[in-house]
Amino acid sequence: MIKTFALPSSPSRSFNSNIGSFKQFKGYGYGVRMGLSIAQPDDWHLHLRDGELLEAVVSHSAKQFGRAIIMPNLRPPVTTTAAAVEYRDSILKSLQGKTDFTPLMTLYLTDKTSPHEIKLARESGVVYGVKLYPAGATTNSQDGVTDLFGKCIPVLEEMVNQDMPLLVHGEVTDPEIDIFDRERVFIDRILKPLIQRLPKLKVVMEHVTTMDAVKFVESCEEGCVAATVTPQHLLLNRNSLFQGGLQPHNYCLPVLKRETHRQAIVAAVTSGNRRFFLGTDSAPHERQRKESACGCAGVFNSPVALSLYAKVFEEAGVLDKLEAFTSFNGPDFYGLPRNTRKITLKKETWKVPEAYSYASGSIVPMSAGESLEWLPYLPS
């Protein structure tokens, strides 16, 4: 349950979490501003990369989130349990013991993944899902699945046996399908038949972007099909790719969609529906790789994600529903305990850096240079 409390500040005001609006607070010689105390959130879809990029970005997630589902699309991809354990060790090494952050690993599904590997993954205690990338759908997906029903059914059946979720990048890659329709077509061609064939398979439809995806998830049995939602798909529409010139740092896959789709996603998330939960899909790329003749897809949002989610719920007038979305729905779906540690979101204006530098270059975050109004703090 969200707790609100007063913090010294000016001007004087207090907050009613039921209606999401401020009122002037009189009778004190100093002002107050609102703070929200919620259970520490988890990120159920995160790209940390490896090497120098991993070391540059991992702390941004570890400072705010208790756990994160780590995507396996490295080069080479994380296709085995042994590779997942090794990747987990490198993440923890990068953190140097300075945090209690727990990486939850995933395997990269290929045409050659075996049912035995799924058993090993479950027995390892460190692998919590298997990621489906249709071949060619997004960054480092060239080794992804080419024929899900023809080559992967034995693996998916073993995933049912092991209660191992399938995490889906839900887009077809047929060149004749318009890029703005790829999610909708994937639902019709792949997801609906998959759920009919394996109704007990737990599926997370990652980074949903359309009204079609919202309706599909809402139509499925609760506890079997869920969805993660990113800050960019809650706050931006496809105009954000072109306003004031081409905006490469707003380019991601699945690509941003029409305003009607954005509104449908906001409505679903802020309704309190338990099927939707936080997944940033934060995907860092070095600045020059984004600002190039063939820019990479991915939005780096880890430093601003919680601030932006709070903005969405505040604007909808339902800050009382933020905690369930950020901190409860995800672990409940994965069958994991909720975090007991608390995090505070203060109503405090702060400016997002234009970029974050590291040894090999810099990374531009979402909302670079903008002022945001919520700032997360962990207790010391």
350 contacts 371 by C-beta, under 8 angstroms:
yes
Annotated catalytic residue within 42, 212, 281, 320? 281
60 tagged catalytic? no
Q: What is the DSSP letter of 181?
A: G
Quote the strand ranges of the chain, DSSP E: 3-9, 14-16, 21-23, 31-39, 43-46, 67-70, 102-108, 127-132, 166-168, 203-205, 225-229, 276-278, 342-351, 356-358, 361-363, 371-377
Three-class secondary structure of residue 313 per DSSP: helix
Per-residue tokens: 346: 């203060």
Annotated catalytic residue within 42, 43, 47, 249? 47
7 contacts 35 by C-beta, under 8 angstroms:
yes
289 contacts 55 by C-beta, under 8 angstroms:
no
Instruction: Compute the distance between CA of residue 328 and CA of residue 317 in angstroms, rounded to an integer.
Output: 19
Annotated catalytic residue within 60, 207, 257, 311? 207
309 contacts 7 by C-beta, under 8 angstroms:
no
Question: How does strand 31-39 pair with strand 342-351?
Answer: antiparallel
Contacts for 366 with CB less than 8 Å, ≥ 6 apart: 231, 232, 249, 250, 299, 300, 301, 304, 308, 352
47 tagged catalytic? yes
Annotated catalytic residue within 60, 131, 321, 347? 131
Phi, psi of 348 (to 5 degrees): -145, 120
Annotated catalytic residue within 60, 169, 285, 347? 169
45 tagged catalytic? yes
Instruction: Compute the distance between CA of residue 345 and CA of residue 35 in angstroms, rounded to an integer.
Output: 6
Q: Which residues are catalytic?
A: 45, 47, 131, 169, 207, 281
